[in-house]
Structure 1
Amino acid sequence: MQTTDLFAKRTDAMKASEIRELLKLLDQPDIISFAGGIPDPDYFPREAFTQAMQIALGQDMAATSLQYAASEGYAPLRAWIAGYMKERGVDCDLDNILITAGSQQALDYIGKLYLDKNDTALIEWPTYLGALGAFKAYEPIFDRLNAGENRMPNEIAQTAALAGGRVKFSYLSPDFANPTGKTMSQAERLSVLAQAEALDIAVIEDAAYQSLRYAGDDVPSILALEMEQKGDIDACRTIFCGSFSKTLAPGLRVGWVVAAKPVISQMVLLKQAGDLQTATINQIAVNHVARSVFDEHVTTLRAVYGARLQAMLRALKDYMPEGVTWTEPQGGMFVWVTLPKHLDGKLLLEQALAQKVAFVPGAAFYADGDTRNTMRLNFTMTDDQAIQTGIARLANVIQTALSS
């Protein structure tokens, strides 16, 4: 007998992340990679972080930055987040905010907090692969969240009951979603809220890309819209998950959750049982950088990434064969490509790698894994010339597959 024979049954549902495996390709300089969903390190605010770390390790701060801290998070950083949220229509205080080790940890805590085996989570189709991985550990049933469609709440509840549980939450990324790049209209967001009210469930708003808008007008967050309706965050069912990973730096693993106080209090208990706290020195550094350069830095990212998005859209238009379609995002990091139905993104990846270009096959973003004629392309890590070369190579691979 081996100790692996003692693993809990829930581990059967745990699969390696295709994205994390593909990130290894970034170590190969001859590969043009559209696979990662990561920021360009050339634009990390290094000087600001160097100064922040020097301050954190200085005589006045070292006793704090190198010590244990409150599980809720570093109070000055939570105060900055409270101000950031207030500017966006969400009036909250420090007790409504929990600092997490990236928004990915928040998703794991939410799954642990809400999901019993066979409970239903309503998700977009496709949806963020990391959310699927976080939630699957708690053995839920996934059902489709189709905002704006006329699907009656009692039908959704009955389907969940037949599966052996109840609907617990809707999970969505309303701004420049991963993987599709799509943004929900205000009407669609209000529809999600109305459905949640009818089902009496939570709404998990993943706002990782919210700050990265390159065109169009801002749309209020779901939490802000609910605040307009109810006037008090502690009466709201929306749980807002934010992150500094896409705006400042992912390596420090600092994210946050804003929600009603009873939700935050329970998540703090999960934090205490998990890793006690997010690294103090990282929170202090992020607080300093956020206060000193956040707005200026995000403005720079919008200009750089926005230009790269346009370069990718032009290249797709110039090179892709007939029958291939794609989204045209107003922000974020991704373009979602739909291929003719008989093509398989995973098989195309093998052929694309031979041509020194990489992407993420789309099937992994579907809870059932059945839709195979899609791919996700990232544009933030690649300059204009490499985008043109890589899309031309990828188009040639697709044309060859179509001709065979």
Structure 2
Amino acid sequence: MTLEQIFATRAARLKASEIRELLKLLDQPDILSFAGGIPDPSLFPAEAFSKAFSEALTPSRQAQALQYSVSEGYLPLRRWLVNHMETIGVPCTVDNILITSGSQQALDYLGKLFLSPGDTALVGWPTYLGALAAFNAYEPVYDRLRIGTNRAPADYIAAAEAAGGRIKFAYLSADFSNPTGETVDHAGRERLLDQAETMDCAVIEDAAYQALRYDGAPVPPILALEIARKGTIEACRTIYCGSFSKTLSPGLRVGWVVAPQPVIRQLVLLKQAADLHSSSINQIAIHTVAERLFDSHVAELRSVYQRRRDAMLDALARHMPDGVTWTQPEGGMFVWLTLPEGQDGAALLARSLESVKVAFVPGRAFFADGSGANSLRLSFSCASEPTIEEGMKRLGVLLREGKLAS
């Protein structure tokens, strides 16, 4: 007997992240990587964090910074987040906020809280790979979330019942989504809330990129729209997941959940069972830096990333062959390419790494049903404008060489 023989059945649903594996390519100096959706480390507010950590370790504060803490999270940080959420139209209290180890942990907790085996999770086609990884362990059935179509809620409900469960939530990244970079417009968000009411399910709003808008008019968060409808967050079914990973630092692993108090109380119990609380000193440092420079730092990020977004869209327009299409994101970190039918992103990646040394993420991994072979994701956040130009030129040459086998 081996230990693998007595793993729980859910272990069979766990898969390695293609993105995490591709990040290893960043250590190879000859690879032009557009794979990992990671912030540019040269833009981290390192000096501000160095000062914040030093202050946290002064004799008067070090006990708090290095000690166990409450599961809900560092209270001054939660108070800062109350003010921050107010600025984007989400009035709430500290009791509506839980600090998590990145928004990825929030997705894991929400999957654990809502999903029983056979229940349905509505997700995009494609959707964030990390969300699928988080939800997979709880053995859901996936159905395609269609906001802009005429698919009736009754059809979703019937499909979920046929699968042996019920619809528990609709998950989406409404702003500059990972992987497509697309944004759900105001009307689409209102339609989703209507659908969720009819289906009597939760809405999980992944807002990891919400602060990174470069042009176009801001759209209120789904939670803000629902509060406007119902008058209070306590009557809402939307759960907002935020993160400092794309704005201040991914390495400190600080995210947050905003939800009605009954949901927060249950998530606190899950956190107590999982890791007790997020790192005290990291929360203190994030609070210090956010309080001092969040707005100015995010403004700097927007300026740099917008130039890189523009450089990628311009290079794609000049170098891609006929038949290749791509999204036009108003923010975030990604552009989504759709290749002609018959081409395969994974096969293209293998050939690309061998011949032109360009890395990206094949699209199939972002589809719950394994479709989407003729697509790929490009990230512009961690590449200079000359690198983007050269990378898109190389990729265009490769694509012009002819169709790849599917």
TM exceeding 0.5:
yes
Distance in 1 of aligned mates of 2:370 and 2:402: 21
Determine if the alignment matches structure 1 residue 285 to structure 2 residue 285.
Answer: yes
Match of 1:99, SS?
strand
Distance in 2 of aligned mates of 1:14 and 1:57: 39
Match of 2:104? Answer: 104
Distance in 2 of aligned mates of 1:352 and 1:249: 31
**Aligned-pair RMSD on alpha carbons?**
0.8
Range with bigger deviation, 55-64 or 393-402 = 393-402
Q: 1:401 Cα shift?
A: 3.0
Q: 1:366 Cα shift?
A: 0.2
Determine if the alignment matches structure 1 residue 129 to structure 2 residue 121.
Answer: no
Counterpart residue identity of residue 95, structure 1: D
Distance in 2 of aligned mates of 1:183 and 1:28: 33
Q: Contact 2:348 / 2:404 at 8 angstroms: preserved in 1?
A: no
Match of 1:388? Answer: 389
Match of 2:214? Answer: 214
Match of 2:256? Answer: 256
1:199-252 deviation per Cα after TM superposition (whole angstroms, max 9, x unaligned): 110000000000000011100000000010001101100000000000000000
Q: Contact 2:254 / 2:282 at 8 angstroms: preserved in 1?
A: yes
Match of 2:3? Answer: 3
Distance in 1 of aligned mates of 2:63 and 2:122: 45
Q: 1:273 Cα shift?
A: 0.2
Distance in 2 of aligned mates of 1:68 and 1:266: 20
Q: 1:30 Cα shift?
A: 1.1
Distance in 2 of aligned mates of 1:272 and 1:235: 26
State percent identity of aligned pairs. Answer: 60
Distance in 1 of aligned mates of 2:217 and 2:60: 43
Q: Contact 2:352 / 2:398 at 8 angstroms: preserved in 1?
A: yes
Counterpart residue identity of residue 329, structure 1: P
Q: 1:2 Cα shift?
A: 1.1
- TM-score, length-normalised on structure 1? 0.99
Counterpart residue identity of residue 387, structure 2: A
Distance in 1 of aligned mates of 2:308 and 2:152: 41
Counterpart residue identity of residue 207, structure 2: A
Q: 1:402 Cα shift?
A: 3.0
Match of 1:346? Answer: 346
Q: Contact 2:69 / 2:277 at 8 angstroms: preserved in 1?
A: yes
Q: Contact 2:96 / 2:264 at 8 angstroms: preserved in 1?
A: yes
Q: 1:332 Cα shift?
A: 0.1
Counterpart residue identity of residue 175, structure 2: D
Q: 1:403 Cα shift?
A: 8.7
1:94-145 deviation per Cα after TM superposition (whole angstroms, max 9, x unaligned): 0000000000000000000000001000011100000000001100000011
Q: Contact 2:223 / 2:240 at 8 angstroms: preserved in 1?
A: yes
Match of 1:287, SS?
helix
Gap runs ≥5 in structure 2: none
Match of 1:240? Answer: 240
Match of 1:402, SS?
coil
Gap runs ≥5 in structure 1: none
Q: Contact 2:52 / 2:285 at 8 angstroms: preserved in 1?
A: yes
Distance in 2 of aligned mates of 1:93 and 1:401: 57
Counterpart residue identity of residue 371, structure 1: G
What aligned pairs does 1:63-142 form with structure 2 within 5 A after superposition?
63-142=63-142
Distance in 1 of aligned mates of 2:92 and 2:312: 39
- TM-score, length-normalised on structure 2? 0.99
1:164-210 deviation per Cα after TM superposition (whole angstroms, max 9, x unaligned): 00000000000000000000100000011000000110000000000
Distance in 2 of aligned mates of 1:193 and 1:55: 44
Q: Contact 2:88 / 2:220 at 8 angstroms: preserved in 1?
A: yes
Distance in 2 of aligned mates of 1:125 and 1:335: 15
Match of 1:361? Answer: 362
Q: 1:43 Cα shift?
A: 0.2
Range with bigger deviation, 219-228 or 151-160 = 151-160
Distance in 1 of aligned mates of 2:252 and 2:211: 18
Distance in 2 of aligned mates of 1:356 and 1:208: 29
Counterpart residue identity of residue 20, structure 1: R
Range with bigger deviation, 148-157 or 53-62 = 148-157
Distance in 2 of aligned mates of 1:245 and 1:32: 23
Q: 1:331 Cα shift?
A: 0.2
Match of 2:147, SS?
coil
Match of 2:374? Answer: 373
Counterpart residue identity of residue 377, structure 2: R
Q: Contact 2:343 / 2:404 at 8 angstroms: preserved in 1?
A: no
Distance in 1 of aligned mates of 2:290 and 2:200: 36
Distance in 1 of aligned mates of 2:372 and 2:300: 36
1:266-306 deviation per Cα after TM superposition (whole angstroms, max 9, x unaligned): 00000000000000000000000000010000000000000
Q: Contact 2:223 / 2:239 at 8 angstroms: preserved in 1?
A: yes
Distance in 2 of aligned mates of 1:291 and 1:10: 42
Match of 2:403, SS?
helix
Number of residue-to-residue matches in the alignment: 404
Distance in 2 of aligned mates of 1:151 and 1:31: 43
Match of 1:242, SS?
strand
Determine if the alignment matches structure 1 residue 399 to structure 2 residue 400.
Answer: yes
Distance in 2 of aligned mates of 1:77 and 1:238: 22
Determine if the alignment matches structure 1 residue 195 to structure 2 residue 195.
Answer: yes
Q: 1:148 Cα shift?
A: 2.4
Match of 1:42? Answer: 42
Q: Contact 2:245 / 2:254 at 8 angstroms: preserved in 1?
A: yes
Match of 2:328? Answer: 328
Counterpart residue identity of residue 23, structure 2: L
